């Protein structure tokens, strides 16, 4: 069955550094992948979407890569700020459906001032 | 101001009672979803609906029921048959473009506690 893994439960980095979060998947080939931010006690907020034929996508300080050979997506936040502290979720569309998604368990990021 | 609303934010019920969680969107999205989130686990899909009067079970539909009588509304009922109903429930919606759902817009969630 399809499986999604996100790297280590918690990631702590110093303000100004680049945070890199990982999303690995197995047993299928998604058509696209999304990243969301979730703050405690709130619903996730969409950040970026990348399609299988795209290698990289950028939005301001955010960058997402999608390596379909490695079955991995990397999510980068450059020049990180304490306000970037949150949990980040990756989501992949399900095979043979256009309307359902698998979500990873998320990586908790803390940016230390 | 467009978005998704869920009510209430916190809900407490006694075991054995059914409870209905509200979800309304004014984004004119066709697709709506219900997820459950437990500590240490990803969002798990309970039910989803692509159009009015049609909905499908997700991965953990047992003990839940939904209706989609209006495009804007997708209420979720947690029945007494759900063995572990205490959780954070999230409703979402998305556009439907070229046969695929796009990014998901989430509501603020309802935290249900059953004792």
Per-residue pLDDT tens over the stretch B72-87:
999 999 999 899 999 9
What pLDDT does B41 receive? 81
Where residue B8 falls among pLDDT bands split at 50, 70, 90? very high
What pLDDT does A9 receive? 72
Q: Provide the strand spans (E) within B73-109.
A: 76-78, 87-94, 96-97, 100-101, 105-106
CB-CB contact of A20 with A87 (8 Å): no
CA distance A34 to A69: 18
The partner residue sitting opposite A100, judged by closest CB among B41, B48, B102, is B48
What pLDDT does B1 receive? 55
Where residue B98 falls among pLDDT bands split at 50, 70, 90? confident
CA distance A36 to A93: 14
- Buried-exposed string B32-51: b where 16+ CB fall within 10 A, e elsewhere: bbbbbbeeeebbbbbbbbbe
What pLDDT does A29 receive? 77
What pLDDT does A1 receive? 65
What pLDDT does B97 receive? 73
Q: Of B80, B82, B87, B74, which Cα lies nearest the Cα of B25?
A: B74
What pLDDT does B40 receive? 78
Q: For residue range A32-64, what is the model confidence (pLDDT) as tens digits?
A: 899 999 999 999 999 999 988 898 999 999 999
What pLDDT does A96 receive? 63
Distance in Å, alpha carbon of B63 to nearest chain A alpha carbon: 20
Residue A77, Cβ density class (10 Å: 0-12 exposed, 13-18 middle, ≥19 buried)? buried
From the centroid of its chain, how far is CA A34? 7
CA distance A4 to A33: 11
Average pLDDT over residues B86-111: 90
Task: Flag whether pLDDT at B108 surpasses 60.
Answer: yes
Average pLDDT over residues B18-42: 93
CB-CB contact of A44 with A38 (8 Å): yes
Q: For residue range A68-105, what is the model confidence (pLDDT) as tens digits?
A: 899 999 999 999 999 999 999 999 887 666 578 889 99
The partner residue sitting opposite B43, judged by closest CB among A31, A42, A103, is A103
Distance in Å, alpha carbon of A21 to nearest chain B alpha carbon: 16
C-alpha dist (Å) from residue A112 to A12, A19, A32, A41:
7, 12, 32, 21
Residues 6 or more apart in contact with residue B7 via CB below 8 angstroms: B21, B22, B110
Task: Flag whether pLDDT at B2 surpasses 90.
Answer: no
The partner residue sitting opposite B103, judged by closest CB among A34, A42, A100, is A34
CB contact under 8 Å between B104 and A41, yes or no, is no
CA distance A12 to A19: 9
On the question of a cis peptide bond just before residue B8, with omega within 30 degrees of 0, the verdict is yes
Residue B17, Cβ density class (10 Å: 0-12 exposed, 13-18 middle, ≥19 buried)? exposed
Average pLDDT of chain B, as a whole number: 92
């Amino acid at each position: 069955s399809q499986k999604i893994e996100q790297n280590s439960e918690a990631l702590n980095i110093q303000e100004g550094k680049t945070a890199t979060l990982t999303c690995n998947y197995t047993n299928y080939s998604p058509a696209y992948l999304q990243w969301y931010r979730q703050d405690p006690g709130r619903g996730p907020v969409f950040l970026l979407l990348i399609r299988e034929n795209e290698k990289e996508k950028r939005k301001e300080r955010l960058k997402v890569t999608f390596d379909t050979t490695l079955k991995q997506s990397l999510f980068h936040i450059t020049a990180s700020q304490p306000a970037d502290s949150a949990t980040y979720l990756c989501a992949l569309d399900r095979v043979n459906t256009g309307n359902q998604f698998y979500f990873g368990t998320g990586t908790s990021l803390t940016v230390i001032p | 101001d467009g978005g998704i609303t869920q009510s209430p934010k916190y809900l407490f019920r006694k075991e054995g009672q059914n409870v209905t969680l509200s979800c309304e969107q004014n984004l004119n999205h066709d697709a709506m979803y219900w997820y459950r989130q437990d500590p240490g686990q990803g969002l798990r899909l309970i039910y989803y609906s692509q159009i009015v009067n049609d909905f499908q079970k997700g991965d953990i539909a047992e003990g839940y029921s939904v209706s989609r009588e209006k495009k804007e509304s997708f209420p979720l009922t947690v029945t007494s048959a759900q063995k572990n109903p205490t959780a954070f429930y999230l409703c979402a919606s998305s556009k439907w473009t070229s046969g695929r759902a796009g990014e998901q817009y989430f509501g603020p969630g309802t935290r249900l506690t059953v004792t």
